[in-house]
Structure 1
Amino acid sequence: MDYKVVFSALERVCQENISVLCGPSDLPYGTVTKRLVTSMKQIQEHGRALEPMVASFSSIYHHYDFDAQTPGNGYRTLVKVLQSCLLHIVHKGQYIASNYSGAFFRAEHNAAEMEAYCSALCQLRALLYLAQRLIHDNEHGQLYIQQDSDLNRSFVQEYSSMHKACFYGRCLGFQFSPALRPFLQTIIISMVSYGEAYGKQQSGIGTAALSLLTSGKYVIDPELRGAEFERITQNLDMQFWKSFWNGHGFTRIASNPVQVNFTLTVPPVPLRLPLASDPRLSTTVSPPIAHWGPGPVHMRLVSYDLREGQDSEELLGFSRSDPPPISSRLPWIQEQPRSPWLLIHFHGGGFVAQTSRSHENYLRNWSKVLGVPILSVDYSLSPEAPFPRALEECFYAYCWALNNCQLLGSTAERVCLVGDSAGGNLCITVSMRALTSGIRVPDGIVAAYPATLLTTDASPSRLLTLIDPLLPLGVLAKCLNAYAGSDFQTIQPADRRGSLSALGRDTAMLLSDLTQGVSNWVQSFLDPSRTSGGSPSPRGNHIRRTSTDLAFQNSADSIHYPDGFEPLRSNCPAFVNPTSCPVMRNPFVSPLLAPSSLLRGLPPVHIVASALDALLDDSVMFAKKLRAMEQPVSLTVVEDLPHGFLSLSQICKETQFASDMCVARVREVFLQENTRNALPKDL
C-alpha cells in the first residue's frame, strides 16, 4: 500500500477521534477519555514526523535489494513493519470513533490497546532514526556497519535501554501473518510461565505443572506478559533458553508417517575420501577432536520409503535403538531401490538448542514429497561444545555419508545440503571445508534464513531484534557468544542423544501439551469481541525516564534524537555482551567475511529468507557477495513470516508456502544435472 495513503488515513482517524472525544461534555468514561485523547495526539505527532522519513527511505531502499525481481532488505522491512503498526492504529481508531458512545463499548480495553500501539509507534520511530544513521554512515548499497564502529556500540546500547514490553503484550506479532499470532501468543505465555518457575527447587514435573497454573494471569493481563517477557529476554541465562526450546519442540505437530526413522551413532574413525581433482588419489578426514578429543557423531535417518541398504545389518549396527527399528519382513513393506539423491540436513537452534527430532515434522514431509532419504545431523551444542566442534562433526557426517551412501538408501549421484538459521551457516561452512580439503563438494546448498555474520554489528534488519519475539538481540548475542566460546564449559556433555537437554522427557511432553493445548484458550481471552476480564492493568506502556536513564542517554556513544523526541526506556535494562571475540571474524564462523578464495568453487547456493527476519540482511549481503564473484546463487524472500518458519510449516498456509519454496529449491539442485549434462538436440 502506498505510504501516502496510510499516513493520510492515520491523520484523518486521529483528527476524527480527537474531535469526537473532545466534543460533548457529557461523554462517558472520564479518565479513559483523557487517555484516549492523549494517545491520539501523540500518535498524530509521531505520524507527522514519520511521513517524511518514510518518503526518504522509499526513494532509496531499492538500491539495497539483491535485484529488481527480489525486493527485500532491512530498510524495506522497517517501513513495512511501521505501516503494519499504522494500519492497526487506523483500524482501531475507526472502531473507537464509531462505537465510543455505544452501550457495549469496552473503554478500558480500547484505551489500553491504543496506548500500547502508541508506545510501539514511538519505538519504531526511534528505529527509523537509527536506520537513518546507518544510511548516513554506510557506503552506498552496504547494509552492515563496519567493524568496531561507534554506531555498533550505540545499537547495542540502545537495545539494552529501550522499552520493549509493548511489543510482547497487546501488540505481540502485529507485523506477522494473522494466522501466526495465536501461536506466538501461546509460545510467549508458555515462556513467561516457565520463566517464573525456572530456577526454583522443583522437579521437572513440578516446574511444568507450576508453569501451567501460572499461565492464566499472563493470558488476561497483556501488560504483565510483556513486562515479564522483556525481563526474561534481557537477563536470563543460556541454560534457560536451552531447556525451554529443547522442551518446546514442534515434533508433535502432525506429519507424514515414514518407513525409516531412527538414530545412528558413528564411531570416530578416520575416513578416506577421493580427491575431487583426481579420484585416483585420496585424502584422510580425521574425526572431530576439538575441545575434548575424538568422539562419535550422532545422526538421524529419515526415509518415507524403505530403500535398499537401509535394513542392512551394517547400518543397523550403528543404530542407537534396541531392538533395531526396521523390520523389512513385514509383508506390506516393499523395499525400493536406492535413490540417486541424498539430502543432508543441519538443524537450526542458534547453535545452542534443538535436534534432528525437533525438526522432524517437516523432514518427514520432505522425504515423501521429494522421494529422498534424509540424513539429519545431531551436532554437539554450545556452550558445552563451541566452535569448531559443531562444524567438525557436520563435516565428518558429510564425509561419512559420501562413503556410506549405499547404507542410507542412496547412490549419492546428487547430494544437497539443507539447513535453517545456524544449520544454514553450517551448510555453507561445511562446503567451504570440503573445498579446502579437496574432496567432493555437494551439488547444491539450500539455506533457510541463514546466519552468515555471527556478530552484533548493526544493520537495518538487525534493528528488528528490538521487537522480534523469537529472536531478541539479547538472546541472539547469548547464542553467538556461546558458539564463539565466550561461555565455554570445559566438560564433555554426558549425553547429547535426547532432544530434551536439561528437562526430563516427561516434563517436555507436558510443556509441549501446554504449548499445543492452550492456543484456543488464549484466543478466546484475546478475542476483542469478548468482554474484558480482570482488573485494569497498570499503564506499563508509558515508561518514565529516571536520572539513570538520562545519564545513560548522555554517554559518548548514545544516539542523538531530534529535539523533543526520546524513545521510551526500560525499567530493567539488559546486559548485552557484544560479540567482540575474534573468533566471530573467522570465515568459518561468519562466511559473509570469508575471502573470495574460500568461497570460489562453492556449489549453487539457494537462500530462502523472510522479509520480517532480523537476519534478512545476512542473506541479502551474502547473496550479493556470491553474485559479485560470479558464483551461482539465488535469493527468495517470503513475506509476513518470522525467523524459524520451517518449524512452523504446518501452522498456516503462509508457512507451508515458504516450506514448499525450500522444497522447490532442493528439487532444483537434484534436477540441475539433467540440464547441465544435456546434449544439444542437433548432436
Structure 2
Amino acid sequence: MRAAMALPRHIRRLMAGRPIELDGQTLDVDAQLMLRINQFAGIQLAAASPEEARTNLNASAKIAERASRPPMRSRPVRIPARGGELYSRLYIPNHVGENAPLLVFYHGGGWVVGNVETHDDAVRFLAQHAGVRALSVDYRLAPEHPFPAAVEDAIDTYEYVVANAEQLGADPNRIAVGGDSAGGNLAAVVAQQAKDNGGNLPAFQLLIYPEVDFVNRRASRKFFSEGFFLTDDDMNWFEGHYVPEGADKSDPRLSPLLAKDLSGLPPAAVITAGFDPLRDNGEAYYDALKKASVPVTLHRHWDLIHGFINLLGISPRFREATLEIAGVLRTGLDLTAK
C-alpha cells in the first residue's frame, strides 16, 4: 500500500484505472487506488464474526497510520461509568498547556469494532493541529453490549470530563464532543441529552460523517452501496449487532436527526465525504440544525470516501482533509470561548 502510494501520480492513475465519476463527483486517485488494493487483498469491514472484524481492523489500522508523528504526551484515564470502569486515553500536545480546550472523542466502527488504538493516529493528529487536549474513549461494543450501552458510556464520559476538567487540564467552558461515523452519532446524542437533561452543554460538536438516522434511507446509500469501503451490507451488519430486535429506531438516542426539537444545541460542524453512503444523512442533520437556528457549518469532501481520517499514512489528500477538520475544531472552540 505504502509503496503504491509513493509512485508518481500518473503511475497511480494507471494502477487505479479510469477515473470514477458518480453523482457529479470524481473520486480522488489515491482513494480509488486504495480501494482497488483493498479489493485484491480482500479487506472489508464486516466479517463472519465481530471478533474477526475487530482483528482485521486492528491490523489494517496499523498499515494506514503515519510512520512518524510529532512527539506528544499521553496517559490513561479510568472513567467510572454505570456499566463499569471505562478505559480512555488523554492526549496532550507539547504546545498545549493547562486550562486548554478539550475534545471528547468517540471512535467510529459501527458500534461493533474500533477502539482507542485504531483511532490513535487520527486523535493525535486532531489534537496536534487543533491545539487541544483530547480524550479518546473505549466505550462498550455490540453485540456483547448492544444499544443503549454505548450511549450510556458516551454520556458518562462527557459528564466525568465536565466534573473533572481541572484534573484533566481542561477549560470547563471549552469542552467539545466529536467523533467519526458511529462516534459522530454518539457525539450528537451526547449534546442532545445534555440539553434535554439540563446539563452542561458542550462548547462545540465535531460530527465527522455521522450516522444520524436508522429509519430513512437517502439517495447516497444507494449511490455508494458497494465498492467505496463502507457498503450497504456493512451497515446492515453493524445495525444487526447494535440495535436490539424490537427497538424503536426513531429513538433520538439512535437517530438524533429524528429528535423533535433541535433548537438550543451547541454550535456544530458536520463533515461528509462525497463517496459515502452516510453522506446524505449527515447533510440532512446539517439542514435540520440550521433550520433549528443552531450555528452550524458543513463541508463535503467531494472526492473522498468514508473513513478517510483513519488513512493519514496513505495519502497527502487524506491528511489535507483531516487538517481542515482540525482547523474547523480550533476555530469553533475559539469562537465559542467565554
User: Which structure dedicates a bigger proportion of its chain to helix?
Assistant: 1
What corresponds to 2:271 in structure 1? 608
Q: Where do residues 353-502 of structure 1 align in structure 2 (5 Å cutoff)?
A: 353-455=113-215, 457-486=216-245
- The separation in 2 between residues aligned to 1:252 and 1:663, in whole angstroms, is 17
Structure 2 counterpart of 1:177, which letter? Answer: D
What corresponds to 2:251 in structure 1? 586
Structure 2 counterpart of 1:623, which letter? Answer: Y
Residues 1:252 and 1:654: Cα distance change in structure 2 (over 3 Å) = closer
Residues 1:436 and 1:79: Cα distance change in structure 2 (over 3 Å) = closer
Q: Per the alignment, in what secondary structure is the counterpart of residue 178 of structure 2? A: strand
TM-score normalized by structure 2?
0.86
- The separation in 2 between residues aligned to 1:610 and 1:469, in whole angstroms, is 11
Structure 2 counterpart of 1:80, which letter? Answer: G
- The separation in 2 between residues aligned to 1:586 and 1:600, in whole angstroms, is 17
Q: After superposition, give the CA deviation of every residue in 1:288-319 in whole Å (9 maximum; x if it has no partner).
A: 2xxxxx4112111111228xxxxxxxxxxxxx
1:80 aligns with 2:33: no
Structure 1 counterpart of 2:99, which letter? Answer: S
Contact 1:461 1:614 in 2 (8 A): yes
What corresponds to 2:283 in structure 1? 620
Q: After superposition, give the CA deviation of every residue in 1:160-193 in whole Å (9 maximum; x if it has no partner).
A: xxxxxxxxxxxxxxx631123333333333336x
User: Post-superposition shift, 1:265?
Assistant: 2.2
Q: Per the alignment, in what secondary structure is the counterpart of residue 342 of structure 1? A: strand
User: Post-superposition shift, 1:460?
Assistant: 1.2
Contact 1:255 1:362 in 2 (8 A): no
- The separation in 2 between residues aligned to 1:357 and 1:242, in whole angstroms, is 11
- The separation in 1 between residues aligned to 2:234 and 2:289, in whole angstroms, is 29
Residues 1:252 and 1:669: Cα distance change in structure 2 (over 3 Å) = closer
Q: Where do residues 156-175 of structure 1 align in structure 2 (5 Å cutoff)?
A: none
Q: After superposition, give the CA deviation of every residue in 1:255-285 in whole Å (9 maximum; x if it has no partner).
A: 424342232222x3xxxxxxxxxxxxxxxxx
Count of residues paired in the alignment: 317
Q: Where do residues 268-347 of structure 1 align in structure 2 (5 Å cutoff)?
A: 268=80, 287-288=81-82, 294-305=83-94, 337-347=97-107
What corresponds to 1:190 in structure 2? 41
Residues 1:444 and 1:182: Cα distance change in structure 2 (over 3 Å) = same
Contact 1:78 1:461 in 2 (8 A): no
User: Post-superposition shift, 1:594?
Assistant: 1.1
- The separation in 1 between residues aligned to 2:247 and 2:123, in whole angstroms, is 35
- The separation in 2 between residues aligned to 1:442 and 1:584, in whole angstroms, is 25
- The separation in 1 between residues aligned to 2:151 and 2:52, in whole angstroms, is 24
Contact 1:305 1:371 in 2 (8 A): no
- The separation in 2 between residues aligned to 1:480 and 1:618, in whole angstroms, is 15
Runs of 4+ in 1 over 4 A off after TM superposition: none
Structure 1 counterpart of 2:242, which letter? Answer: Y
User: Which structure dedicates a bigger proportion of its chain to strand?
Assistant: 2
User: Post-superposition shift, 1:237?
Assistant: 4.2
Q: Where do residues 88-103 of structure 1 align in structure 2 (5 Å cutoff)?
A: none
**5+ long unaligned stretches in structure 1:** 1-76, 82-174, 193-228, 269-286, 289-293, 307-335, 487-580, 678-683
Structure 2 counterpart of 1:652, which letter? Answer: S
TM-score normalized by structure 1?
0.44
User: Post-superposition shift, 1:367?
Assistant: 2.2
User: Post-superposition shift, 1:252?
Assistant: 4.6
Instruction: Return the index of the structure with the highest Cα Rg.
Output: 1
**5+ long unaligned stretches in structure 2:** 1-20
Identity level (%): 26
Q: After superposition, give the CA deviation of every residue in 1:222-280 in whole Å (9 maximum; x if it has no partner).
A: xxxxxxx8xx96x84444323322332237532424342232222x3xxxxxxxxxxxx
1:178 aligns with 2:178: no
Contact 1:78 1:460 in 2 (8 A): no
Q: After superposition, give the CA deviation of every residue in 1:125-175 in whole Å (9 maximum; x if it has no partner).
A: xxxxxxxxxxxxxxxxxxxxxxxxxxxxxxxxxxxxxxxxxxxxxxxxxx6
Contact 1:339 1:373 in 2 (8 A): no
